[in-house]
Structure 1
Amino acid sequence: MTIDVPQHILDALTDVDMPRLAQEAAPSETIRLAGIDVPVYRAGCVVVGSGAAGLRAAVELNRRGDDVAIMSQSAWGGTSACSGSDKQTLHTANTADQGDNYKAMARAIRAGGAMDEDTAYVEAVGSGRMMASLQFLGLPLPQEPLGGTLRYQTDHDEVGRATSCGPRTSRLMVKVLAEEAIRLDIPFYNHTTAVKILTEGEQGSRRVVGALAVRANDRTETNPLGVALFATEVIVLAAGGPGELYRDSVYPNGCFGSLGLALEAGVDLVNLTESQFGIGTRREGFPWNLSGTYVQAIPHIYSVDAEGTEHNFLAEYYRTTQELASNVFRKGYQWPFHSTRMLDFGSSLVDLAIYRETAAGRRVFMDFNRNPLPVPGDLPFDLERLDDDVKRYLGNAAATQDLPIHRLRHMNPLAIELYRRYKVDIAAAPLEFAVNNQHMNGGIMVDTWGRSSLAGCYAVGEAAGTHGVTRPGGAALNAGQVFGTRVAEHIGASGRAKKALSSDLRVVAGAAVFELLGMLKGDSPLAAKAIRTEVQARMSDKAGLICDGESVASALVEARRLNAEIRAKGIAYERAAEAGRALQWRQMALASEAVLAALDYFIRNGGGSRGARAICDTTGESLPLSNGGPLEEFRFRKERDAHREEQIVVRLEGDAMRIATRPNRKFDEGAKSFFERDWPAWLTGRIYDLDAV
């Protein structure tokens, strides 16, 4: 039986129109700073970023009576609105149809290590509430006839806790939250790029007092770059991850995140060694992860060399056609590269093979109109000759059609529609793809309320470094919703955002504006485009999914040299519209150095291979095998168990990256709450620990 979904339903779940923003509020005043006229916008709290996590924080702050405004580089242009995979997910906290089991879910979330146990429990216990509230706002999550949530298995998820509205789940999340933010009349400043966090105080007593931004709408003859001052005591960083860090990336264009912004403010970052890499179409065309049913349909994967000759290259790695096809299928729920899955002819051998083909200059495609070609000397592809787990899944899905495109259309017609919307018809032509960077699991270090090391600065979504080494697919969406709410609860309890900040910030803001203008130099030999090329090439070539200690160390030296040169010579820009982007590339160069510094520290201290990367070493204990024999070039170190129990912390002090480690925070699964004993802590607000930073 083929699923027959009417076209208007496919259209509604694929073409998700976003709401129009209301007219922007005018500045409260204009002041003279460093020789330019700077408009001042005042708010109790400013949320930097308009993705699903930032919108959740803003909506929940407004509901609690706080004065909140949203600052966005490009409304509906971030990762949660524009990118994704075959099935973006939001966790349901249901285990094998047996109801809520938050402790088991927390164990699954933190299973990869280097994650705070209490954070994992916060994400688990908050997931049901987040799902219900999104459904209340209109998110069309699928249900059974009796009201149960339809679920499926995803990456690093053994029991099937995930659900989905289809490939546009995260965009639909942004849509319903944006509509609620507009309904609540939350001020929204679009085309506004945060470029500096303003602080007052010394060392441990430093606190947020505002932020400088660059705004197209504020460019005037007396302010040609559009510099604006946002006066606020509370900032929520929700601008996503550093998507521009890598050349080979599935992020939408222009996703800079806020790691460099946080570093410049002296905020602690954590787990920068941990990212996710996996197969997907690059952002030069239509960026999308090729997980889920795209690979569970088992298309033929091949490469093409410079002469146009096709190569069935996966046959060089797998011993039988059955083994090859079964591991292509497993990329559906083992999508991210993981070093251990290169062993024993596992599914990440697919990633390694693709990585090697592209490094050799070949283009890689998947063809949904052909089944996998056989391994030479072995039997041809047959749906009856697949590993038991694969055959069982396809049987349960009734996906026994002859060709991959028919299996894909049966299991997930939206997957075909999505690419067709971007003028790529995978039903008619092969799809080019590669192994790309997709997600930063590290980020700003926060506690269980989303507080950073800087008073008044919070972080949510991919900006927050809460994820550890691995995470179940889609758990990041859930984490952003949970912590968006947690941050709003904490800020609301503090009372610091009830009304707009009225302080005079001329001194601190004037010095910051002077510094920014001094960084932008028309005669600098450094241009933003050149910095971009250098940073992205270095990160993709020396700090991608395959790396080694010597390459990382040399890359760190080069990154330090670049940042020293930027400090000394500034950055050139040609037009006023490019000034903000130039400042973002300064911050991205800093973020690159921070990642390399953490990775170099990790490797030098015996760090091994885990979720993000294989640390290649000629003395490594682990050796991937292929059909042609051992892959000695990719021999890699094992992960040390002790490293799973700690996190690497990075802070910018002066011009140097300082590295430290800290143990994961623990969660006592045996501890039990008691209503009469614990209720007073809730009533009096002691649960918020407001005396801490």
Structure 2
Amino acid sequence: MSLSVPQEILDALTDVVMPRLKPEPETAETLQIGDLVLPVYRCGALVIGSGAAGLRAAVEMKRRGVDVTILSQSAWGGTSACSGSDKQTLHTANTKDQGDNFQAMAEAIRAGGAMDEDTAYIEAVGSVRAMASLQYLGLPLPQDHLGGTLRYQTDHDEVGRATSCGPRTSRLMVKVLAQEAIRLDIPFFNQTTAIRVLKDGRGAAGLLAIRPKDGAEGNPHGLALYACSKLVFAAGGPGEMYRDSVFPNGCFGTLGLALEAGLELTNITESQFGIGTRREGFPWNLSGTYVQVIPHIYSVDENGTEHHFLADYYRTTQEMASNIFRKGYQWPFHASRMLDFQSSLVDLAIFRESQKGRRVFMDFNRNPQAIDAPFSLDRLDDDVRTYLHNAGADHALPIDRLRHMNPLAIELYKRYKVDITTGPLEFAVNHQHMNGGIAVDIWGRTNVTGIYAVGEASGTHGVTRPGGSALNAGQVFGTRVAEHIGASGEAAAPSSADISVAGGEAVSEVMRLVTRENGLSWKAIRTEVQARMSEHAGILCTAHDVTMAREEARTLNTQIRARGLQVSRASEVARAVQWQQMALASEAVLTALDHYIAQGGGSRGARAICDPTGESLPQSVRGPLPDVRFRTERDTDKHSQLRVRLEGADMIVSDVRNRAYAGDKSFFERDWPAWLTGGIYHQDTAPR
């Protein structure tokens, strides 16, 4: 992009107005449970979540004749609609200058390990279809004059498979999919919170939710029952689990709900952490051009004194500036990049400044301060200097380089009354994405019959992944879930199942939980969970701290079971239940992480496992950093995943080998009958 881009184009790509929903369906059916009278809504398939993955699943199901309904806590309020998902990583075969093949892309997707090989191949193959269908729906992916999609390099991607519509790429994806869902007349229940899964002898039977619109004298908490044959978890990740988070406010995900339903979780030790603006203002990842223009980074102490703290870590101005730039495509923290004065030393330095109680800023109106010599665009590492030269970004100041390379980056913050052309931007190291989640097979099926998971709710990503591939995964598996449900023929009409028993049990459980006079405060639970996760399960972990945190998390859940929750008014019930479930999910994460570390697991992906006997010792210009000496990752751990399930009050952890992909060549005449007869949907590939 250049300065010649008209303002109206910048506005259209930044101010993405979402469509209005149609009136919600009504029902005449009710079910009396004790003194309560609850409305009952029926559908064939119910999707929990209205982000890009959930909408894709719903749209594709509707096209296949499934009677599908969407349920959302807050329409257009989730991660893909509100957070910094600015790119989608796709197959590059359609570009004129870059070749690719599906197996090579699959290898890149699963290169971090702990990912099923067949899943990676599915995501690679499905990316072409995902991109083409989004373009058909109106997603304005950029092209050159020959029709090739414009691409660039992103984190964990050496080929250059990423493309972008600007900082609102994922919101634009949600918009076009939402417009299609509305056009297809898919019923949509907004402001509705899922709190309990209903099951019968066959598997999924429905859902208990809280819907304030259904509140009445005989139903003061607004409880509602949904009967369905198929249930799709698509409500994103546990953004509220960490205090230091770049997730939009109110993103709880459904990991606790899944555990209570008997679903197995996988890879929940694996997350992404990186620099971004705090959620108290406008949460956004500071990757890409924000750092590639090389702003000045500094901290401010309680006395207002500025500290040029990166000079305590890097040896030269050139080394520091080049690694600030590399945070653009090496955005997530990675322990190995703390070594040899690489880019994650920037994350470590910022994290330690925050621990000192200092506020950290980047200033686009100043170049980095000198360490050994003044900053100069001519004194940068070769890869950095070449990139900026090819981009034509030879301007004197970072803000001018940013205007030239990506004016949308400036416009985005202006929408939230932050003008980075005149003042600095405060930021920190935050939790951004969970790579783990609910365990699924090649069709998105969980270990409970009738329940599926897609998007960040599912645990398909492994340890690391190319930036933007999570959006692609949600689109690919949203389609595959729809294909599987459609082929079953079991959700073509609304469920007629009797849910009175399952519904009654779920309502009784919830009422027992939230009607205790001496119950715990859900606000206190929030404070405890977020502090524990940010302080003991962030980018730096030790065996002792994680074990202690796990024990504290288990104690908290024991207290919740014994005492319940204190709820002062009916409108707090949904939030209180969500924090009870978040406490459960937090214990699951810490239990899996404690198990991993105790078994000798090393540093990978999100975290450095700090150990005084560790093999890796980061260095700074002032010498070794013994407090962050860490274990290196064991190669054997890349070939398996940690699964967690809830049995009674206990978290059970098991180790499962990754599913393999043999790469067998298909043969038309041999394999066509399986497609024609639906045999492809009946392979025994459910999670082990």
* Length-normalised TM-score, structure 2: 0.98
Matches within 5 A, 1:639-650: 639-650=633-644
* 1:273 corresponding residue in structure 2: 269
Deviation (angstroms), 1:34: 3.1
Deviation (angstroms), 1:575: 1.8
* 1:225 corresponding residue in structure 2: 221
Runs of 5+ unmatched residues, structure 1: none
* 1:22 corresponding residue in structure 2: 22
Question: For the residues of structure 1 that align with 2:34 and 2:434, how far apart are their CA atoms?
Answer: 36
* Matched residue type, 1:218: D
* 1:158 corresponding residue in structure 2: 158
Q: Partner of 1:602: helix, strand, or coil?
A: helix
* 2:410 corresponding residue in structure 1: 416
Matches within 5 A, 1:414-563: 414-563=408-557
Deviation (angstroms), 1:600: 0.2
% identical equivalent positions: 70
RMSD: 1.1
Q: Partner of 2:560: helix, strand, or coil?
A: helix
Question: For the residues of structure 2 that align with 1:300 and 1:627, how far apart are their CA atoms?
Answer: 19
Q: Which of 583, 593, 602 is the matching residue for 1:599?
A: 593
Deviation (angstroms), 1:285: 0.2
Q: Which of 666, 669, 686 is the matching residue for 1:673?
A: 666
* Matched residue type, 1:302: Y
* Matched residue type, 1:108: A
Q: Partner of 1:40: helix, strand, or coil?
A: strand
* 2:614 corresponding residue in structure 1: 620
Question: For the residues of structure 2 that align with 1:502 and 1:2, how far apart are their CA atoms?
Answer: 58
Deviation (angstroms), 1:524: 2.8
* 2:401 corresponding residue in structure 1: 407
Question: For the residues of structure 1 that align with 2:75 and 2:635, how far apart are their CA atoms?
Answer: 42
Q: Which of 293, 296, 320 is the matching residue for 1:324?
A: 320
Q: Partner of 1:660: helix, strand, or coil?
A: strand
Question: For the residues of structure 2 that align with 1:462 and 1:293, how far apart are their CA atoms?
Answer: 25
Q: Which of 305, 312, 321 is the matching residue for 1:309?
A: 305
Deviation (angstroms), 1:96: 8.1
Deviation (angstroms), 1:233: 1.5
* Matched residue type, 1:66: V
Deviation (angstroms), 1:384: 0.2
Matches within 5 A, 1:205-220: 206-220=202-216
CA contact (8 A) 1:166 1:414 kept: yes
CA contact (8 A) 1:34 1:513 kept: no
* 1:354 corresponding residue in structure 2: 350
Deviations 1:66-86 (A, max 9, x none): 00000000000000000015x
Question: For the residues of structure 1 that align with 2:160 and 2:418, how far apart are their CA atoms?
Answer: 31
Deviation (angstroms), 1:28: 4.3
* 2:87 corresponding residue in structure 1: 88
* Matched residue type, 2:553: A
Matches within 5 A, 1:28-427: 28-84=28-84, 87-94=86-93, 97-201=97-201, 206-375=202-371, 378-427=372-421
Q: Partner of 1:166: helix, strand, or coil?
A: coil
* Matched residue type, 2:641: Q
Q: Which of 565, 578, 581 is the matching residue for 2:575?
A: 581
Question: For the residues of structure 2 that align with 1:571 and 1:303, how far apart are their CA atoms?
Answer: 40
* 1:686 corresponding residue in structure 2: 679
Question: For the residues of structure 2 that align with 1:640 and 1:372, how far apart are their CA atoms?
Answer: 37
Closer/same/farther in 2, CA of residues 498 and 690 from structure 1, 3 Å limit? farther
Question: For the residues of structure 2 that align with 1:461 and 1:282, how far apart are their CA atoms?
Answer: 24
* Matched residue type, 1:542: H
Closer/same/farther in 2, CA of residues 690 and 47 from structure 1, 3 Å limit? farther
Deviation (angstroms), 1:93: 3.6
Deviation (angstroms), 1:623: 0.3
Deviation (angstroms), 1:522: 4.8
Q: Partner of 1:61: helix, strand, or coil?
A: helix
Question: For the residues of structure 2 that align with 1:494 and 1:422, how far apart are their CA atoms?
Answer: 46
CA contact (8 A) 1:96 1:160 kept: no
* Matched residue type, 2:444: G
Deviations 1:109-138 (A, max 9, x none): 000000000000000000010000000000
Deviation (angstroms), 1:159: 1.0
Deviation (angstroms), 1:525: 3.9
Q: Partner of 1:659: helix, strand, or coil?
A: strand
Q: Partner of 2:520: helix, strand, or coil?
A: coil
* Matched residue type, 2:299: S
Deviation (angstroms), 1:527: 1.0
Q: Partner of 1:140: helix, strand, or coil?
A: coil
Runs of 5+ unmatched residues, structure 2: none
Deviation (angstroms), 1:691: 6.7
Deviation (angstroms), 1:496: 1.2
CA contact (8 A) 1:90 1:131 kept: no
* Matched residue type, 1:676: E
* Matched residue type, 1:463: A
Deviations 1:423-466 (A, max 9, x none): 00011100000000000000000001000011000000000000
Deviation (angstroms), 1:2: 4.6
Deviation (angstroms), 1:35: 2.0
Question: For the residues of structure 1 that align with 2:164 and 2:80, how far apart are their CA atoms?
Answer: 14
Q: Partner of 1:435: helix, strand, or coil?
A: strand
Q: Which of 552, 559, 582 is the matching residue for 1:565?
A: 559
Question: For the residues of structure 2 that align with 1:263 and 1:423, how far apart are their CA atoms?
Answer: 40
Q: Partner of 2:566: helix, strand, or coil?
A: coil
Greater than 4 Å deviation, 4+ residue runs: 690-693
* Matched residue type, 1:325: A
* Length-normalised TM-score, structure 1: 0.98
Question: For the residues of structure 2 that align with 1:543 and 1:34, how far apart are their CA atoms?
Answer: 43
Deviation (angstroms), 1:88: 2.5
Question: For the residues of structure 2 that align with 1:544 and 1:467, how far apart are their CA atoms?
Answer: 19
